[in-house]
Structure 1
Amino acid sequence: MICTVTLNPSLDYTVELEQLQPGGLNRTRTESVRPGGKGLNVALMLNRLGQPVRALAFAAGYTGHMLAGQLADAGLPAELLWAREGMTRINVKVKAGEETEINGRGPVLGPSHLEELASRLAVLEEGDWVVLAGSLPAGLPDDTYARLLMPLTARGVRAVVDAEGAVLSAALTAHPFLIKPNRPELEALAGRALSTREELFDAARTLQEKGAANVLLSLGGEGAALLTSSGERLFCPAPQGKAVDTVGAGDSMVAGFLSGWLTTGRWAEALRMGVAAGSASAFSPWIARREQVWALYDSVLI
């Protein structure tokens, strides 16, 4: 079983304008509303790649009900945990030459919410997978992922963490199977710019020393790199294509990597599938379809 967890999902409201006039009337050229949140994006891509997945997420208010409906329409009936106060956040993305983002706050979660989540995760057994991805909502401490993971990894559940900063640093103490920082996140943790591939791998090895088994580096248009628990270093350039919307591309990479690993058990094939899935989503308006991923797969080389 693969279980994804999204503590602070969203509705992503994206509008495109000819130009943005602050203080004036602006009319959209195109607009869309889609479910958002890193864990949900991972679950959507896993689902499209044919991997059974259980998607857990918190929701609140009327926007939470809209999120549930949109996920069902996308073929992913998520298992939502409801917060009584607040509402599922709305993230506004304004595209007018350059992109401006306004992210909502979301509901405030507390210890009782985490206890409910932990009870849902308690059914996971040795050999199962859990993916914790995204930022924490207000009210939760930086070690939230670590505390959720400790009892799971202790009994053989394999964990994947896609977070940043103090949240990721704390999660390393739970010894996740895989983490996926991007270049800016890795540089922030390293405290310096990382300009060469050697420097990237050295910084990734530091994260291994702190607890991560394998480190998948998302490098945007450059592709991705992987440092395995055995010290193997793999690099995979991104295929050629025009980026349409990079939101969800890194999450799709995580899902593609997991799907490739579960299907073949080989690092190179997992990395190829990860880059194919991430690139396919970057070349699409939203999370790519299965056929779009496979259309790119043969052009992705380690």
Structure 2
Amino acid sequence: MINTITLNPSLDYIVKVDSFKVDSLNRTEEENIYAGGKGINVSIVLKNLGVANTALGYVAGFTGDEILRQIQSHGVNCDFIKLKSGFSRINVKLKSDGETEINGSGPAITDEELNLLHEKLSHLTKGDYLILSGSIPNSVPDNIYESIMNSLLDKGVEFIVDATKDLLLKVLKYKPFLIKPNHHELAEMFNVELKDDEDIIKYGRKLQEMGAKNVLISMAGDGAILLPENGEPIKRAVPKGILKNSVGAGDSMVAGFLCGYLKNKNIDEAFKMGIATGSASAFSEELATKEQVYELLKQI
């Protein structure tokens, strides 16, 4: 079974305004509300690709109810914990001459509610996949990912981690099956400037030396590099298309990679599927569909 965790989901209120003006009345040209969160995106794309999974995490208040409604409308199984107080955050994304974002903080999570999550995860068994992705709310310990992975280490669960900086570096000792930094995040982790593919491979290797099995480094329009657990680095270009929305593209790559890997355990085929799925989301206003993915897969 595949499980995703989103500790701080959101409702993303996306508005388009023609020439936004400060200190003035502005009217929207277009507006949409989506359930947001990296783990949620992974769950939805997996389901779109025909892969059953369960989305876990925390929701609260009326916004939490809408997040659940939207996730379930995609056919994703939900097992979120409903917090006793507060409400799930609202993130505002304003698109005009430029793009401006205002992200909410999210509700507080108590120790009791943290224990409820550990209890749910304790039922995972050998062969299950757990995807931990995104930032964590201020109210939980900054070692929450470490705590989760440590508690499941003896169960044979495979981990996929898509996080940044210390949140990722600190869990590498638990030997995650896959990590997916982008090239900017990779540079930040080691406080270096990555000048070429050779540099990217060099520092990706360092992540493997620290424990990661497979390292997938996305580079937006420049393609992606995969450092397999066994084998030489592989670089692939992205298919041609018009970028419409970069939000969720990285999460879609993770979903596509896992979907491809589960078919026959071929790591390069998983890589191709990951690129096609990430690109499909980038070339669409919404998350990738199965039809879009397989059409792009023909170009890879």
- AA aligned to 1:276 is A
Separation in 2, partners of 1:2, 1:210 = 25
Normalised to the residue count of structure 2, the TM-score between the two structures is 0.97
Aligned twin of 2:180: 180
Structure 2, unmatched stretches of 5+, are none
Deviates more, 1:140-149 or 1:255-264: 140-149
Structure 1, unmatched stretches of 5+, are none
Aligned twin of 1:110: 110
What is the aligned length? 300
Aligned twin of 1:230: 230
Separation in 1, partners of 2:266, 2:95 = 39
Separation in 2, partners of 1:87, 1:19 = 32
Deviations 1:86-138 (A, max 9, x none): 11011111010221111111111232222111111111111110000110011
Aligned twin of 1:282: 282
CA contact (8 A) 1:49 1:290 kept: yes
Separation in 2, partners of 1:195, 1:85 = 48
CA contact (8 A) 1:146 1:172 kept: no
Separation in 1, partners of 2:282, 2:247 = 7
Aligned twin of 1:269: 269
Identity, % of aligned pairs?
44
Separation in 2, partners of 1:87, 1:231 = 47
- AA aligned to 2:203 is A
Aligned twin of 2:168: 168
- What SS is found at the alignment partner of 1:150? helix
CA drift of 1:231 comes to 4.3
> Is residue 137 of structure 1 aligned with residue 137 of structure 2?
yes
Aligned twin of 2:84: 84
Aligned twin of 1:96: 96
Separation in 2, partners of 1:282, 1:195 = 25
Separation in 2, partners of 1:29, 1:76 = 31
Aligned twin of 2:154: 154
CA drift of 1:180 comes to 0.5
Separation in 2, partners of 1:237, 1:282 = 14
Aligned twin of 2:6: 6
Separation in 1, partners of 2:41, 2:83 = 21
CA contact (8 A) 1:153 1:159 kept: no
CA contact (8 A) 1:153 1:175 kept: no
- AA aligned to 2:256 is G
CA contact (8 A) 1:238 1:279 kept: yes
- Structure 1: which 4+ aligned runs deviate by more than 3 Å? none
- What SS is found at the alignment partner of 2:80? strand
CA contact (8 A) 1:9 1:89 kept: yes
Aligned twin of 1:61: 61
Separation in 2, partners of 1:102, 1:184 = 22
CA drift of 1:154 comes to 2.6
Separation in 1, partners of 2:51, 2:74 = 15
Aligned twin of 1:213: 213
Normalised to the residue count of structure 1, the TM-score between the two structures is 0.97
Separation in 2, partners of 1:185, 1:236 = 19
